[in-house]
Structure 1
Amino acid sequence: MTAGGAPADGPGTGPPGLSQLDLLESDAVQIIREAVGECGRPVLLFSGGKDSIVLLHLARKAFGPAPLPFPLLHVDTGHNFPEVLAHRDSLVAAHGLRLHVVSVQEFIDDGRLRERPDGSRNVLQSVPLTAAIERHGFDAVFGGARRDEDRARAKERVFSVRDGSGGWDPGRQRPELWRLYNARCGPGEHLRVFPLSDWTEFDVWQYIEREGIGLPALYYAHRRTVFARAGMWLTPGAWGGPGEGERLETRLVRYRTVGDMSCTGAVESDATTPAQVIAELAACRSTERGATRADDRLSEAAMEDRKREGYF
């Protein structure tokens, strides 16, 4: 105990000799194990992006050498980057994992969703996600969201209760003192569990470097045909870009985050290794989502609005 009576092992402290990454890893593994111990049918949201890859790495550490005791779930917008889908499939095959894929296109085809005029499908993911959770009876859904990404994610708990439609109510936030988590849910409810909540983008990349974690190549600098829109470099594709007056260019870029191609922008960069990305981030003053995600620019509360509708 400290002089003030608080536990000495609070966030950011630990036994001598343990690094910040060691502590973050230990906390994340404990969160994953606790959720699996408390819940009957967990699942891990897996897009093939860097955060979900790190989360999968931690989950395999939590239970290895035994097989992962839960499946993966991906909401495929139909506008995902091909490199990311290929990496997703290679990881699933390499580790013998179970993967459920729910398609936004199927929901559009049968009339449960309508295509947006701007072609973006990122905001359409909530309905298929909630439907998949209900169909499979999942009661805990692991996600790779981090508090440093957005103000809405900053105030969501590690164990976040969601209602029957997947919606998040900030007024129902539960206390989480001294790493004590409440996994209870009412009928029809489920948990979203975020083991990377206290990690930053910088932490994620340092961990990727330390652990030798492989990522899709688009996270590193490469030459790509892009076009400028709203201050971002977007990749052309069947989703509808480029539009009238938008000119294709070849640029040396990389992606800080990956999602729907219609709303995820690249940044100009010459970083080709984790160490170079880390050095680049050390000088950066913008968050990855704020700099590269058009869907977060719709309003000041864009992320929170989507979370209330069932978003990650």
Structure 2
Amino acid sequence: MTKTSVGPKPAEATIRSAGAVVQQPAPRRRTPTGLDTLESEAVHVFREVAGEFDRPVVLFSGGKDSTLLVHLARKAFWPAPIPFALLHVDTGHNFPEVIEFRDRLVARYGLRLEVAEVQRWIDDGRLTERADGTRNPLQTVPLLDSIVEHRFDAVFGGGRRDEERARAKERIFSLRNSFGQWDPRRQRPELWNLYNGRHRPGEHVRVFPLSNWTELDVWNYIERENIELPSIYYAHRREVYLRDGMLLSSGPWGGPRETEQVQERLVRYRTVGDGSCTGAVESDATTVAEVIAEVAASRLTERGATRADDRMSEAAMEDRKREGYF
């Protein structure tokens, strides 16, 4: 009986060495991880916006979420440059380390940065300084004015649904009316990764590619991609004082009251923003791996633990969303 010769299976490769035939299994495809899925979704959103809109812009503060947006945008369009500008609404109360990092990143990648300085709106009377000194709520008017001035029709933001309640029900494509306001009745369903960017003249769409990410996802991705962040995200010694359960530092936004004692502590920041209302947390996490372990053990969201402006009322962020803040 003649033996029938059977060739190698499609999933195998034949290696001939010293007269022997060895069947070598083909390399297995890597199973996508959760981070791969989140990255793929964000890259898809960036490309969808580039195809649907004429003048998109990325809100960029130098914080971890907006830095992640820039990293993902670079991936989405590589090797071409990012095809739209960055916009920073600068309260004038930012931490120096963050501003230095912002300018360095913009220069490194040759990006175009538009800066809307809240101080200009105060100086010309369009805004009035608040009695409590915080400028975070004052960002809405400069943001909306800048959108109109530059005719931006899609505005990328780093908001995530895990941050707090007002963000939890936000769509990835969030339609805003001609006044920049959010109306829940006009939001569109988002099924099968299909996004509706249709809008009338004067309206625009806020876009949140990180909607489905958590704080822990962000830090795991930062570790995987080796993304640089401002130094204040890691533990360092800083003079702080305790107010309303938060560790604040003094700066151009003001300092401690007579009854508030300044102490030097080992702290880091989970989120960055207006220095008058952004608190630090005590920490000895000096590496990304140590931050990941700390975040995994935390039972408070970053904004709930460190942002005083979110504590003004139960509906503080909801009201600001309706006004066009994020």
TM-score under structure 1 length normalisation: 0.94
Is the counterpart of residue 28 in structure 1 residue 30 in structure 2? Answer: no
How far apart, CA to CA, are the structure 2 residues paired with 1:104 and 1:163? 23
User: AA paired with 1:123?
Assistant: P
Aligned partner of 2:245 among 231, 236, 244: 231
Deviation at 1:274, TM superposition (A): 0.7
Separation in 2, partners of 1:170, 1:91: 36
Of the candidates 205, 209, 220, which is equivalent to residue 191 of structure 1? 205
Q: Identity, % of aligned pairs?
A: 71
What is aligned with 1:290?
304
Alignment of 1:75-86 (within 5 A): 75-86=89-100
Please name the residue that 1:90 is paired with. 104
Query: 5+ residue gaps in structure 1?
Result: 1-14
Q: Please state how far the C-alpha of 1:16 moved relative to its aligned partner.
A: 6.5
1:99 partnered with 2:100:
no
Offset at residue 238 of structure 1 (A)? 1.8
Q: Does 1:143 align with 2:157?
A: yes
1:114-263 paired onto structure 2 within 5 Å: 114-263=128-277
Query: 2:59 matched to 1:45?
Result: yes
Structure 1 counterpart SS, 2:237: strand
Name the residue aligned to 1:113.
127
Residue number in structure 2 paired with 1:69: 83
The one-letter code matched in structure 2 to 1:177 is L
Q: Which letter does structure 2 place at the counterpart of 1:122? A: N
What is the one-letter code of the residue matched to 2:90? D
The AA in structure 2 aligned to 1:308 is R
Query: How far apart, CA to CA, are the structure 2 residues paired with 1:206 and 1:16?
Result: 18
Cα shift at 1:167: 1.1
Task: Give the gaps of 5 or more residues in structure 2.
Answer: 1-28
Alignment match, 1:6: none
Residue identity matched to 1:30: H
1:187 shift after superposition: 2.1
Separation in 2, partners of 1:244, 1:305: 33
Query: How many residues of Structure 1 are paired with residues of Structure 2 in the alignment?
Result: 298
Larger radius of gyration: 2
Deviation string, structure 1 residues 92-121 (Cα, Å, up to 9, x no partner): 000000000000000000000000001000
Deviation, 1:235, is: 1.1
CA distance in 2, matches of 1:172, 1:293: 29
User: Which residue of the partner structure matches residue 309 of structure 1?
Assistant: 323
Return the match for 1:19 from 11, 26, 33.
33
Aligned to 2:23: none
Cα-to-partner distance string for 1:24-44 (whole Å, 9 max, x where unaligned): 000000001001110000000
Say which of 36, 59, 65 aligns to 2:73.
Answer: 59
Q: Distance in 2 between matches of 1:241 and 1:311?
A: 26
Tell me, in whole angstroms, the C-alpha distance in 1 between the residues paired with 2:187 and 2:205. Answer: 12
Deviation per residue, 1:46-102 (Å, 9 max, x gap): 000000001100000000111110000000000011100000000000000000000
